[in-house]
Amino acid sequence: MAVVRPIAGSDRVAWEQLFVDYGVFYETTIGASVVSGVWRWLMDETHEVRALVAVADDGTLVGFAHYRRYARSFTAADGWNLDDLYVSPAARGAGVATALIEAVADACGAAGGGTLRWITAASNETAQRVYDRVAERTAWVTYERKLD
- Spatial strand order in the sheet of 50-55: 3-6, 50-55, 61-72, 77-87, 115-117
pLDDT tens figures, 24-77 = 999 999 999 999 999 999 999 999 999 999 999 999 999 999 999 999 988 888
Q: Is the pTM of this model over 0.85?
A: yes
Distances (CA, A) of 24 to 28, 53, 92: 5, 19, 16
- Mean pLDDT, residues 3-11: 98
Distances (CA, A) of 42 to 36, 67, 72, 125, 140: 10, 10, 23, 28, 29
How many Å apart are CA 115 and CA 41, to the nearest integer? 22
Domain spans of the chain, in order of start: 3-134
pLDDT tens figures, 98-124 = 999 999 999 999 998 889 999 999 999
Q: What is the mean pLDDT of the chain?
A: 95
State which CATH number among 3.30.70.260, 3.40.1190.10, 3.40.630.30, 3.40.605.10 fits the domain covering 3-134: 3.40.630.30
Distances (CA, A) of 120 to 6, 32, 125: 23, 24, 9
